[in-house]
Amino acid sequence: MADYKAPLTDMNFLLFQVFSADKMWQQSANFNEQVDQETAIAILQECAKIAEQEIAPIARQGDEIGVNFTLNEEGEGGQVKTAPGYKEAFQTFAQGGWCALGGDIEYGGMGMPKIVSAFVEEMLCSADISFALYPVLTAGAALSLAKHGNEELKERYLTKLYSGEWAASMCLTEAHAGSDLGIIKTKAKPQADGSYQITGSKIFITGGEHDLTDNIIHLVLAKLPDAPDGPKGISLFLVPKITVKDNGELGKNNQVSCGAIEHKMGIHASSTCVMNFDSAQGFLIGELNKGLACMFTMMNFERIGVGIQGMSAGERSYQNALEYAKDRRQGKALNQNGTLSKTSEQISKQPDSIMVHGDVRRMLLSMKALNEGSRALSCYIALQLDYATFATGDLQQKGESLSALMTPLAKAFFTDLGFETTVAGQQVLGGHGYIREWGQEQLVRDARIAQIYEGTNGIQAMDLLLRKVVGSKGAIIKVFIAEVTDFITEQKKLDADSVESINSSGMVEFIEPLQQAITDLTDISELLVTKAGDDLNEIGVAANDYLHLFGYTAMAFVWAKMAAVAITKLQTLDNAADTEQSEFGRDFYNSKLHTAQYYYARLLPRRLSLLATIKSGSTTLFTIDDELF
């Protein structure tokens, strides 16, 4: 496996040249003292070192050895031992202050914006998704606690989560209740002292038990005995593995135990636990029966993070595949410079690098375009999350709409693409991609889970189309459409203002197809909002394809934005003295521009099939009886 190299230049380009995050920070009361360009770059560089040097090297061993589960002497209360190197790596990570990155500054957090922490998550996940899950889920739980916990809980627990002394888990799923949380059975019984006794069994709990920290803080969904049926009767509780005394020291064990761990396709080094709560002491977070809302505070931040997992695996796979492809010699180029005129003397006997083969270039460029496109789009969405959380007025409103709209997109689209790209990266290596040695097959197995957990991609698609698009009667998708239309207008205007026409500026090849894609997205959205009034099954059937259609269109938007910057920078370089260099060099911008062209030529057309499929409606799915399947 190639050494992991964090894509710092691309991150820098996105933050400061494409999305001008520094300007947002300067104008924000929350960020202007916390972060500037220099700080952000320093943070990303430091994180890159840890990801490359401390975490990436333990991933392979983590996959081979996995987590070890043993029951205690009484045959209960199982212990989980993480793979060699995980404890040390986590300590290094925690001591570096990384668990506090996005945390509330009042309780020891660093208060960094999501647009920065999203890149940190990417690097951690590229290095090792299994490892990353421990701190990333802890950060998610901390977010929910910071937003909804009372002062006492925050003082006692949040500080320890930020310091990395303790970790956290999210306990939602039960054996009979996954996508449908309304039917959970875990009970919370109110106690005289204001605490609750939590009883029930949760499954698929990531990081439910492990040996990385002294304590684990579980955020548990449960129902009071008299709670309303369904999702409106769910409350959120904080349940520590080991109880905490008033002075903050660890007390006795709580009635929480790990009953088993799952054996999974991938993320072997991440413990996936059955967690049993047997009259365990718990504390209410937020209001009674508002547990799902408290959880969803975290969810938007979490779900974009899961989307990033997909892309991060794709990035790692691309780096490996590219190294292999440049090195591997097999077969001859079909022709040189597009001609068949090579003379026999020109034909060397040595095979060419497989980079000469069109199909290998297709796989690599698809990976590159989808990875970089996902990174850019995730950056855009993270920015909207920051606006939604920290801005005011119109910016806040727009940020809220766009982040609500695009969070399910990020989760499902980036993970579907991440799986596609890891599979492509495996294919580039042929048989060598199927054996463990190169690590490509592990990336496929590890990436696969991201399409499933934190709400399956099917659930995300329904969240996008039913709740967001149809739920707002199309209003919320229009916010996005307006954003893109403004960009198109701006590009056309820039062009009209300049001496050059839009044709010669180089942007016309992006603006025209982008316009078409936006028009089609507008039309199909309206059609679906109308159809929803008659038959909601039309929505259920269209959701997955709609999500992907939206995804390819949104990615076209960010690729056009990147192309516009690249073109401007290249023009500046052309006009400058020969010796002058831009920050990232001409190659970087040329690469961006070419990749944008590739995306528009060969990936954006995927929307055509999706449009046709959505238009075909739901008839063929619901006229067939279940018995005929």
Question: 233 and 227 in contact (C-beta within 8 Å)?
Answer: yes
Q: Is 174 a catalytic residue?
A: no
Locus of tokens 């990035």: 315
Q: Which of 37, 91, 173, 582 binds a second copy (CB under 8 A)?
A: 173
Question: At closest approach, how far in Å is the CB of 322 from a second copy?
Answer: 6
Distance CA 203, CA 271 (A): 11
Residues 20-79 that bind a second copy (CB under 8 A): none
Under the binding rule (CB under 8 A), the answer on residue 347 touching a second copy is no
* Per-residue contact string for residues 423-462; x = within reach of a second copy by CB under 8 A: x--xx--xx-xxxxx---x--xx--xx-xxx--xxx--xx
Q: How far is the CB of 368 from a second copy (least distance, A)?
A: 7
* Residue 285 neighbours by CB under 8 Å, 6+ apart: 144, 145, 148, 149, 153, 219, 236, 237, 238, 291, 294
List the structure tokens of 52: 């490359």
Q: 435 or 482: whose CB is closer to a second copy?
A: 435
The reply to whether 342 sits near a second copy by the rule CB under 8 A is no
- The residue type of 388 is A
* Contact stretch for a second copy (CB under 8 A) within 112-120, 177-185, 393-401, 514-522: 177-185
Q: What pairs with residue 276 in β-bridges? A: 201, 257
**Binding to a second copy, residues 556-595 (CB under 8 A):** 587, 590-591, 594-595
* Min CB(424)–a second copy separation in Å: 10
Which of the residues 220 through 279 are near a second copy (CB under 8 A)?
A: 229, 262-266, 272
Nearest one of 323, 408, 403 to 364, comparing CA atoms: 323
Query: Could you give the CA distance from residue 513 to residue 490 in angstroms, rounded to a whole number?
Result: 16
User: Which stretch, 148-156, 179-187, 474-482, 558-566, contacts a second copy (CB under 8 A)?
Assistant: 179-187
Among residues 47, 220, 360, 382, which is the contact residue for a second copy, using CB under 8 A? 360
Contact flags string 363-382 toward a second copy, x per CB under 8 A: xxx--x--------------
Question: Is residue 490 packed enough to be buried (19+ CB in 10 Å), middle (13-18) or exposed (0-12)?
Answer: exposed
DSSP element (H, E) containing 586: helix 586-598
How many residues bind a second copy (CB under 8 A)? The answer is 105
- Tokens representing 436? 């463990």
Cα distance between the two ends of the chain: 43
Q: Map the footprint of a second copy across residues 297-326, applying CB under 8 A.
A: 322, 326
Q: How far apart are CA 76 and CA 175, in angstroms?
A: 19
The reply on whether position 126 binds a second copy by CB under 8 A is: no
Identify which range of 65-73, 116-124, 309-317, 419-427 contacts a second copy by CB under 8 A. 419-427
**Exposure string for 232-244, b = 16+ CB within 10 A, e = fewer:** ebbbbbbbbbbbb
Of 302, 400, 441, 454, the catalytic one is: 454
Radius of gyration of the chain (CA): 25
- 449 contacts 264 by C-beta, under 8 angstroms: yes
Shortest Å distance, C-beta 450 to a second copy: 10
Q: How far is the CB of 590 from a second copy (least distance, A)?
A: 6
- For the bound state, the minimum distance from the C-beta of residue 550 to a second copy, rounded and expressed in Å, comes to 15
At 519, list the tokens.
């028009």
Residues designated catalytic: 454
